[in-house]
């Protein structure tokens, strides 16, 4: 067979001259390859990802590994304070580091709707790039699927995170001990109310901003002063109330909160009142709640307050022997109320 010039066999058309996503971008063929090389690699490229194998092969030091996965389906894609891109990075980084682990690698899988503007995808990827850099994590592998128009809502992203848990750290919802202090890193309900007010087009929408942020730096600072953190979580869907109920149930202890200590921004509180929503049940995307032994509480609190994302950290309550499995709250008026798990859905598609 004679020698051939590969150029003779490549499509002469400017293949990427599309303004929107085509089904063929998910075909695994030449158009898929161009989407990856022109859109994804310039944003996320690194030695591992650039190999374009079907899997990333990376070094991992012996020990315990933390693995987490989350699909992001937020609507709208862009909202005050963030977008689906930084949410997908930060949300997964946070789920990794809530175990005390140092996040190392991410995987990202995209489901794109046929007809999605390339400009929209590009904007989301830029945001992911920035968030990954800020958090200090690499995207080492990924996947792209395209579904027909009307078969998904613009763009879904599933990110998976991998981290290494340091020795001596053992954080779990089942580890609460009576007498432990409950520390919240800052104001609640910012993310959920930013989504909701932007969706409803309310006039005060512009003042309510999502708190989306990667918390691994804050967690590292906390672990430096004490490895004795018993439990830790970012209270996303279902809000602070749901996370604390899960803690109380898993550890079979009671939790007593002091309502007056729980910080809520005034514009968020206003939006909650207008819409009749309890901020305790609204999603956060850049906050954590930690349960620590009383003797370590002041040390951990000081470490948190010295970090930009924990400046408003505060002790909001403690673990008690009464009413195991329940979360109770002393209200501003001095009465007690139960903070139950939510049953239904207040805010669909907030992450």
Residues 101-130 that bind its own copies (CB under 8 A): 101, 105, 107-111
The region of 28-36, 194-202, 271-279, 310-318 touching its own copies under the rule CB under 8 A is 28-36
Tell me: does residue 23 bind its own copies (CB under 8 A).
yes
For residue 277, which of 199, 179, 225, 222 has the smallest C-alpha distance? Answer: 199
- Euclidean distance between CA atoms 73 and 324, whole angstroms: 35
Give the one residue of 29, 76, 117, 179 binding its own copies; rule: CB under 8 A.
29
Chain residues 312-331 in contact with its own copies, contact rule CB under 8 A = 322-326, 328
Phi and psi, residue 160, nearest 5°: -120, 140
Q: Is 269 helix (H, G, I), strand (E, B) or coil?
A: helix
For its own copies, what does the binding mask look like between residues 239 and 278, x meaning CB under 8 A? ---x---x---x-----x----------------------
Chain residues 203-222 in contact with its own copies, contact rule CB under 8 A = none
Torsion of CA 173, 174, 177, 179, to 10 degrees: 30
Tell me: does residue 148 bind its own copies (CB under 8 A).
yes
Tell me: does residue 162 bind its own copies (CB under 8 A).
yes
Which tokens sit at 56? 């990333």
Instruction: Identify any residues that bridge with 163 across adjacent strands, giving them in sequence order.
Output: 66, 103
Compute the least distance from the CB of residue 172 to its own copies, in Å.
6
Element (H, E) at 240: helix 239-251
User: Does residue 226 contact residue 220 with C-beta atoms inside 8 Å?
Assistant: no
Tell me: does residue 151 bind its own copies (CB under 8 A).
yes
Going by their DSSP bridges, the two strands 327-330 and 155-165 should be labelled as unpaired
User: Does residue 234 contact residue 158 with C-beta atoms inside 8 Å?
Assistant: no
Tell me: does residue 333 bind its own copies (CB under 8 A).
no
For its own copies, what does the binding mask look like between residues 39 and 58, x meaning CB under 8 A? ------------xxxxxxxx
Q: Is 342 helix (H, G, I), strand (E, B) or coil?
A: coil
C-beta of 302 vs 338, nearer to its own copies: 338
Which tokens sit at 189? 């309900």
The region of 169-177, 198-206, 290-298, 304-312 touching its own copies under the rule CB under 8 A is 169-177
C-beta of 118 vs 207, nearer to its own copies: 118
The region of 126-134, 160-168, 220-228, 295-303 touching its own copies under the rule CB under 8 A is 160-168
62 Cβ contact partners less than 8 Å away, ≥ 6 residues apart: none
C-beta of 231 vs 297, nearer to its own copies: 231
Compute the least distance from the CB of residue 349 to its own copies, in Å.
6
- Euclidean distance between CA atoms 159 and 67, whole angstroms: 11
Give the one residue of 9, 19, 266, 334 binding its own copies; rule: CB under 8 A.
9
């Amino acid at each position: 067979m004679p020698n051939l010039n590969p150029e003779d066999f490549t499509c002469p058309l400017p293949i990427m001259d599309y303004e929107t996503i085509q089904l063929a971008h998910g075909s695994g063929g030449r158009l898929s390859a161009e989407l990856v090389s022109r859109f994804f690699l310039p944003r996320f490229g690194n030695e591992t990802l650039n190999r374009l194998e079907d899997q990333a092969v990376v070094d991992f030091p012996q020990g315990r590994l933390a693995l987490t996965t989350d699909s992001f389906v937020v609507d709208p894609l862009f909202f005050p304070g963030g977008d689906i891109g930084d949410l997908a990075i930060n949300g997964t980084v946070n789920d990794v580091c809530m175990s005390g682990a140092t996040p190392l690698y991410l995987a990202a899988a995209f489901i794109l709707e046929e007809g999605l503007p390339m400009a929209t995808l590009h904007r989301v990827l830029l945001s992911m790039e920035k968030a990954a850099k800020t958090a200090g994590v690499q995207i080492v592998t990924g996947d792209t699927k395209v579904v027909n128009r009307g078969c998904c809502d613009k763009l879904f992203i599933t990110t998976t995170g991998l981290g290494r848990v340091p020795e001596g750290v053992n954080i779990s919802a089942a580890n609460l001990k009576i007498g432990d202090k409950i520390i919240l890193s800052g104001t609640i309900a910012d993310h959920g109310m930013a989504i909701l007010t932007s969706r409803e087009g309310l006039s005060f929408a512009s003042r309510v901003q999502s708190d989306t942020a990667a918390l691994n730096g804050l967690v590292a600072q906390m672990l430096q002063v004490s490895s004795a953190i018993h439990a830790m979580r970012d209270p996303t869907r279902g809000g602070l109330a749901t996370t604390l109920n899960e803690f109380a149930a898993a550890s079979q202890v009671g939790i007593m909160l002091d309502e007056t200590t729980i910080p809520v921004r005034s514009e968020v509180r206003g939006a909650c009142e207008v819409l009749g929503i309890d901020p305790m049940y609204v999603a956060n995307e850049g906050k954590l709640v930690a349960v620590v032994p009383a003797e370590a509480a002041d040390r951990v609190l000081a470490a948190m307050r010295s970090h930009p994302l924990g400046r408003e950290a505060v002790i909001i309550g403690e673990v008690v022997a009464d009413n195991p499995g329940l979360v109770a709250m002393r209200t501003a008026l001095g009465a007690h109320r139960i903070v139950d798990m939510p049953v239904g859905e207040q805010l669909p598609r907030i992450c």
